[in-house]
Every structure is written in C-alpha cells, then in structure tokens.
C-alpha cells in the first residue's frame, strides 16, 4: 500500500507524509476506541484536555500553539494531537475523521500543522428581507459552517424576531422565537461558534416605521427622497436622532440580548439615507451629517455598553470621511464593508489600523438582486477583503449574504463565494484555489458526484453577467431586466445590444443540461428556477412579454422552492416585487 496524501478540507497549512501506515484493527483496541470517540463538541474536547492523559492516542494541551491551531501526528505508536484550546481540538478531529474515512484500514504516518490566518472568520445571513430559513435549515447550516472553520455567526435582523408587544411588526414575517434563538445559540456554542446578535438600530427600519405606533420616531414620517436615485420613498426608514428613539432601541435590546451568550452585538447603523432631510435638518446644516450621525451612534453604543456588551457597527458613514474616523465610539468594533471588486479596503482599513482600532472586514457573496450570482465579482471581493485584513491587521472577515428587494437568489448561488472567503480566511496559502466540490458536499449535504455537478453548474451560471459588457453595482442586469418598470427597462436595454442579449440567452440555455445533471432535487429545482427567471428577464429585454400563464407557473415553482428551505413569511412580498414592473 503506497502512502498518498489525504484530501483534507479546508487544506491544512503544513502536511508531511512520513511513509508507512498505522494499522487500524478490525477488533476493539485503543486506536479504534479513540477514533470512535473523537469529541464533537467544545465541552467534550475540554473534558479530554483537562484529563491531560499521555496515552498512545491522545489529545493534550500545548499553550505554545496559536488559538484554534493544532498539531496532528500519526506515528507507529499512535495518534498525538496537541492544541491550545478546545476549538482547535475539534478542528483537529475534523481533519482526523477525513483521513480515517479515506484510509479505514491504515492511517498514513504524517505530521500536520494547521491554524487560522484570521482570528475571526464569520458569516452574516440576512433573514429580514423576506426569507427566514426553517430551523432545521439553520441548524444544518451551522454544522456546515463549523466544518468550514467559522467561529462567528450573525443573523441580520430588522423585524424578524418575535418581540413581545410588537406583534403588528412581525405577525406576518414568520419570525424567530426566543426558544429558537436559544436552540441556535446552543448549537453554535457546542461547535465553538459565537452567535452574535445583530439588530439594526438606526436605519433600515421600514418594517417598523411603516406602522403608526412607530412612525412618529421617523426622521421623515411623511416620506423622503433617496439621495442616490432621487426617488421619493413614502415609507420612512431611519429613526430620528433623539431620546425617544434611544428609549425605543433600549427596549428592543432588553428583549433581545438575553437570549444570546455572546457579549457582542452588531447594532447596524448603516445607510441612514434620510438623515438631515427631516427632524435633524437644522442640526445637520449646522454641524454636518457625520457629526450628527456619530453623536447619535455614540449614544446607541452607550446603551449597548451599559448592558455589558461590545458594539459592532457598519462603518460606511464613519469612513465616508476618513479624517473623522478617530471619532468612532471607543471600545466598539467598526465593520468595514464593501461588496464590489475594487472597493477601497486598503485606504479604509489602513486608516483604522493607524488609529489602532479593532475592526472587522465584511465581504459579500454578490448573489442578492440576482438569479445566477456574479461569481467573478464575488471571488475578487473575497480575495481583496482577505488581503486587506491581513495587511492592515483586521480582527477578521465577515462574509455576508443579503436579501435586498425580496431574496430572489437561489440559495446554492451563495455557496462558492462563501467557500472561497471562509477557507481563504482560514489559511490563504493553502486555499487560494478552494476545493469547491468539498465545500458543496458540506453546504448541500451532497454526494461527491452531485457536489461536482453542482460546482460546475454554479461556476457556469455565475459567469452569465460576463456575456454583456454593461455592468451595474451590487446587482445583476438580468434581475433588473425582469423586475424593473417599463421606463427603467428601456433605459437599461439602451446600454446593451441585440447581439449581446442573444449571446447571453444562448449562454444561459447551455446551462440547462448542467443543472439537469444534479441529482439532488432541491438544488436542481432551485437553480432551474433561477435559470428560468433570468431567461424571462433576457427575453423581456428583447421585447417579449411573458404570458400570464407562464408567469403563474414560474411563480408557483418559485414558491415551492422557497418553502423547501424557508418559512412562508415574506414570500408574497417577494413574489410581488418579482413582477412589480410588469
């Protein structure tokens, strides 16, 4: 039997084969017992470490190793695992299980050293723009994230938690309950993942402010004009910077934070679009938007700190003017976010690093407002964020996936960007070319063959946008073709050519046999709905009208696909937005 390097996911930092094998007996002995009882939770791993037994097969503590790092040696005398903490033991056991699965009769003798490049490797999942996953889906996702070496998880919340006394806001949203939060928190803690509460507390509060009991708290209760598009928005989204708003936020925090073990909370704070248009107009005119914003942000952070928590907040407003970055509230963690390739991460992160601030970087999966994803942009975005994080000493990376405008993207389109960002955040030199097939096995619970087919289909679909020269920020052109108004559609079509539209449609049609190869019905159906929605968008751009019966059939398939993984809350609104321009 020839010694062959095992396939390990994520790929480890260093692996050296020593030649030869450690035979695994078919009878119960020390080795088989050790392999059968490898710890699967932090508590189990910690119990083993406290025993500190120097048996032939052992897991022991070595504080010289980095946090979450481990050394695994398979020797003729047994298996020796050294770690500095329990989470590193779990990662070592993940690796050992993979080696054993590939070599059930004899484990190759080797030395393996592994550990993370970035201290924080996180994922943030938007569950407020319509789609709230089923509890079983979230638990499965958490298990996959653990195997992707994630140690922080956030669920982006605007209104999708069942706050007592605020039923008017969430009654049709299928929100998470307190009991479900406890279940998720427990599942995360068992796997060494910190479930950080995430609650927007300044902007993006349309779901609250559209209702009369809360509208009086709005900066512009009678509507506002979007500063980027100049469109009038009848529903307010931003709280006015005043004490009544702080009292409101304090009540939400008091009802929400106790359900988490984490002592952090992401308070949002991004995109308070209408700030200065209404209640705060005079203050902004006198002192400037950034000063008014930072003053109110400080007060929100004070609420958090008074409750024994550390605040994270989105850093977009703070970093619009780098000269004001030093005014960021002390003892907080800004999150530098940018989701398109070429984002100025280096300038923004360099400024925070020069101030010796602790901060995170957030990249994106480039899948929202899309039916097929924008894979090329997403992979570039991950790499740029990770390089900036390493160069400018960021605490870590938060890979985000959003649901803007109705969460129309098929769930599997998030997988490849997520796999790339997370494995590269673990160890970039070993995973600069990620093993996407292995990642799809975990995220989709797929066979290797089906994961390979899924990877091929996702790679192909993710390049649809490259068939047309005209590009948009943060969205796919085919999504806009389907969802935009006739006037907007006409403007967009003028940026393309008939030849490009035909080329894109022909390209998309060639995706169909790739998707059909996928045996998993859920994944196959999700991706095919995405293909057909993108096709409808391209044909609409060509001047074809989708028949009512075909629209209804596509809506029914979208609905079925949605309900396979998610709750019904938000579904009707998502469908309405899908066809709003027709």
Listing DSSP states for 403-470 in one string gives: -TTT--S-GGGGHHHHHHHHHHHH-HHHHSS--HHHHHHHHHT--HHHHHHHHHHHHHHTTGGGGSS-
- Of the pLDDT bands very low, low, confident and very high (cuts 50, 70, 90), residue 325 is confident
Fold topology of 14-114: Chitobiase; domain 2 (3.30.379)
pLDDT, mean of residues 290-309: 96
pLDDT > 90: percent of the chain: 94
Residue 66: predicted pLDDT: 95
pLDDT, mean of residues 486-504: 96
CA-based nearest residue to 122, from 367, 388, 362: 362
Give per-residue pLDDT as tens, 131-160. 999 999 999 999 999 999 999 999 999 999
pLDDT, mean of residues 54-73: 95
Which tokens belong to 433? 């070319």
DSSP, res 335: E
Which tokens belong to 167? 């039923």
Residue 10: predicted pLDDT: 98
Q: What are phi and psi of 50, to 5 degrees?
A: -70, -30
pTM for this prediction: 0.97
Half-sphere exposure of 219 (CA within 13 A, CB side): 29
CA-based nearest residue to 377, from 333, 417, 421: 417
Residue 45: predicted pLDDT: 97
Residue 3: predicted pLDDT: 65
CA-based nearest residue to 125, from 429, 457, 414, 532: 414
Give per-residue pLDDT as tens, 14-43. 999 999 999 998 887 999 999 999 999 999
Give per-residue pLDDT as tens, 420-474. 999 999 999 999 999 999 999 999 999 999 999 999 999 999 999 999 999 999 9
Mean of pLDDT over the chain: 96
CA-CA distance, 51 to 71, in Å (whole number)? 18
pLDDT > 70: percent of the chain: 99
Residue 318: predicted pLDDT: 87
- Of the pLDDT bands very low, low, confident and very high (cuts 50, 70, 90), residue 294 is very high
Fold topology of 120-446: TIM Barrel (3.20.20)
CATH 3.30.379.10 in the chain: give the residue spans.
14-114
- Of the pLDDT bands very low, low, confident and very high (cuts 50, 70, 90), residue 323 is confident
Cβ within 8 Å of residue 576, ≥6 positions away:
none
Q: Is 79 helix (H, G, I), strand (E, B) or coil?
A: strand
Residue 1: predicted pLDDT: 57
Contact 51, 144 (CB under 8 A): no
Q: The sheet that has 70-75: what strands, in order across it?
A: 14-23, 106-114, 70-75, 78-83, 58-61
Return the bridge partners of 199, or none. Answer: 157
- Of the pLDDT bands very low, low, confident and very high (cuts 50, 70, 90), residue 582 is confident
CATH 3.20.20.80 in the chain: give the residue spans.
120-446
Give per-residue pLDDT as tens, 205-241. 999 999 999 999 999 999 999 998 889 999 999 999 9
Give per-residue pLDDT as tens, 346-385. 999 999 999 999 999 999 999 999 999 999 999 999 999 9
Residue 2: predicted pLDDT: 65
Residue 52: predicted pLDDT: 84
């Amino acid at each position: 039997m020839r010694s062959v390097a095992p396939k390990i996911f994520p790929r480890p930092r260093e692996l050296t084969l020593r030649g030869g094998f450690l035979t695994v007996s078919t009878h119960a002995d020390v080795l088989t017992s050790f392999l059968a009882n490898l710890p699967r939770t932090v508590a189990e791993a910690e119990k083993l470490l406290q025993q500190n037994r120097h048996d032939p097969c052992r897991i022991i503590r070595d504080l010289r190793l980095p946090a979450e790092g481990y050394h695994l040696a398979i020797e003729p005398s047994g298996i020796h695992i050294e770690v500095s903490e329990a989470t590193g033991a779990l990662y070592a056991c993940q690796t050992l299980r993979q080696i054993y699965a590939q070599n059930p009769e004899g484990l190759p003798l080797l030395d393996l050293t592994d550990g993370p490049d970035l201290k924080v490797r996180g994922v943030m999942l938007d569950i407020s723009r319509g789609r709230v996953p089923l509890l079983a889906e979230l638990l499965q996702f958490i298990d996959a994230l653990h195997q992707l070496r994630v140690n922080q998880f956030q669920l982006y919340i605007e209104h999708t938690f069942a706050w007592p006394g605020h039923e008017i806001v969430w009654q049709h949203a299928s929100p998470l309950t307190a009991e479900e939060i406890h279940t998720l928190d427990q599942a995360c803690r068992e796997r060494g993942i910190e479930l950080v509460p995430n609650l927007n507390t300044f902007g993006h509060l349309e779901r609250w402010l559209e209702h009369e009991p809360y509208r009086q708290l709005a900066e512009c209760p009678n509507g506002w004009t979007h500063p980027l598009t100049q469109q009038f928005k009848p529903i307010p989204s931003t709280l006015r910077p005043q004490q009544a708003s702080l009292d409101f936020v304090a009540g939400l925090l008091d009802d929400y934070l106790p359900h988490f073990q984490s002592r952090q909370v992401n308070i949002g704070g991004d995109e308070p679009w209408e700030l200065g248009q209404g209640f705060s107009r005079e203050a902004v005119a006198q002192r400037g938007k950034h000063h008014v914003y930072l003053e109110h942000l400080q007060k929100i952070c004070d609420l958090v700190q008074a409750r024994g928590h550390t605040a994270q907040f989105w850093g977009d407003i703070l970093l619009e003017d780098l000269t004001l970055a030093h005014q960021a509230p002390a003892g907080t963690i800004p999150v530098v976010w940018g989701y398109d390739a070429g984002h100025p991460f280096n300038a923004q992160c360099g400024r925070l690093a020069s101030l010796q601030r602790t901060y995170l970087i957030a990249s994106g999966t480039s899948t929202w407002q899309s039916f097929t994803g924008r894979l090329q942009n997403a992979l570039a975005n991950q790499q740029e964020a990770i390089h900036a994080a390493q160069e400018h000493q960021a605490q870590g990376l938060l890979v985000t996936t959003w649901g803007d405008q109705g969460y129309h993207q098929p769930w599997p389109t998030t997988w490849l960007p997520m796999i790339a960002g997370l494995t590269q955040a673990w160890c970039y030199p070993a995973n600069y070319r990620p093993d996407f097939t292995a990642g799809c096995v975990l995220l989709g619970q797929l066979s290797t063959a089906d994961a390979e087919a899924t990877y091929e289909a996702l790679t192909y679909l993710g390049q649809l946008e490259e068939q047309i020269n005209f590009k948009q920020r943060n969205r796919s052109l085919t999504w806009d073709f389907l969802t935009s108004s006739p006037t907007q559609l006409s403007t967009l079509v003028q940026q393309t050519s008939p030849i490009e539209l035909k080329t894109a449609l022909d390209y998309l049609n060639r995706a169909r046999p790739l998707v059909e190869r996928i045996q998993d019905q859920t994944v196959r159906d999700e991706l095919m709905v995405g293909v057909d929605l993108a096709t409808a968008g391209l044909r609409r751009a060509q001047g074809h009208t989708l028949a009512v019966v075909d629209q209804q059939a596509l809506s029914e398939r979208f609905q079925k696909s949605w309900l396979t993984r998610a709750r019904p809350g938000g579904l009707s609104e998502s469908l309405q937005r899908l066809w709003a321009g027709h």
